[in-house]
Amino acid sequence: MSPTEAPTADTAPFDVRVLTLFPEMFPGPLGASLAGKALMDRVWTLKTVDIRDFAGDKHGTVDDSPFGGGAGMVMRPDVIDRALSATHPGPGSGRLVYLTPRGRVLDQPLVRELAAEPGLTVLCGRYEGVDQRVLEAWAPEEISLGDFVLSGGEAAAMALLDAVIRLLPGVVGKTESLEAESFETGLLEHPHYTRPQVWAGRSVPEVLLSGHHARIVDWRRAMSEDTTRWRRPDLWDRYLAAQKQEQEGRKEQP
């Protein structure tokens, strides 16, 4: 099914399970705009799991002080294990993801991979994180939003899920909107303009008013390349390497 097709009654929704100490934070922003409409239309489903429900005492204790000393608390492996055992369906149901600064940095290729799954189970850490032993036992895919620290995994989970959900079939109306976005071609997106044609003494570039489709495509490509070169040298280097590899691959073809 293409991204422009609406889901049918026979299409299984993208099944999301979020394990968190703060289930009241969801769906939050995911309940609005495109993701919210898709949730209402059952393009995707959301189940929030309160990790405290799996604590082993009447106080709902989910954390303890770290062995070896140090500041902060660590989420207990036995509690996390019980929560995952009760809620993660296992193989064939989609990946298990743990949001952590130690993880692979989220990028658009990974977002596309996750969107191709039947669903996701997302574990949101708090405090100093989760006991390493339960991570070794369950081997979740560890993902980070970048080189900074949040108060917990919930905000990161919302960002990840928003990126994934908008790629699900039927969520975004026009396929072109997805294909032209930043990172889809390895480049940042070109500048955008709309009415009025002249604003605060600034005019829209003439090429965008020309009606010449090929010239507009060339201009947008050039702007994407210039923007990427100056703003994200790391992306630009990767883009050049990919272009070189592609050219060499063509030369090797008989």
Q: What is the pLDDT of residues 4-24, one digit of tens each?
A: 344 455 579 999 999 999 999
**Is 149 labeled as ligand-binding?**
yes
pLDDT score of 179 = 56
92 and 200 belong to one structural domain: no
CATH of the domain at 227: 1.10.1270.20
Please state at what angle helix 213-231 crosses helix 233-252, rounded to 10 degrees. 120
55 and 132 belong to one structural domain: yes
Q: What is the pLDDT of residues 110-133, one digit of tens each?
A: 999 999 999 999 999 999 999 999
How many angstroms separate the CA atoms of 18 and 28, rounded?
13
pLDDT score of 32 = 97
**Is 147 labeled as ligand-binding?**
yes
123 and 201 belong to one structural domain: no
CATH of the domain at 50: 3.40.1280.10
32 and 144 belong to one structural domain: yes
**Is 125 labeled as ligand-binding?**
yes
State pTM to two decimals.
0.85
Q: Judge whether residue 174 has pLDDT over 70.
A: no
Contact 18, 47 (CB under 8 A): yes
Cα angle: 185, vertex 96, 63; to 5 degrees: 125
Q: Give yes or no for a cis peptide into 169 (omega within 30° of 0).
A: no
Q: Which pLDDT band, with edges at 50, 70 and 90, does 185 fall under?
A: confident
pLDDT score of 183 = 62
Q: What is the pLDDT of residues 147-166, one digit of tens each?
A: 999 999 999 999 999 999 99
Total structural domains within the chain: 2
Q: Which pLDDT band, with edges at 50, 70 and 90, does 250 fall under?
A: confident
* Average of per-residue pLDDT values in the chain: 90
223 and 189 belong to one structural domain: yes
Query: Range of 247's domain?
Result: 180-252
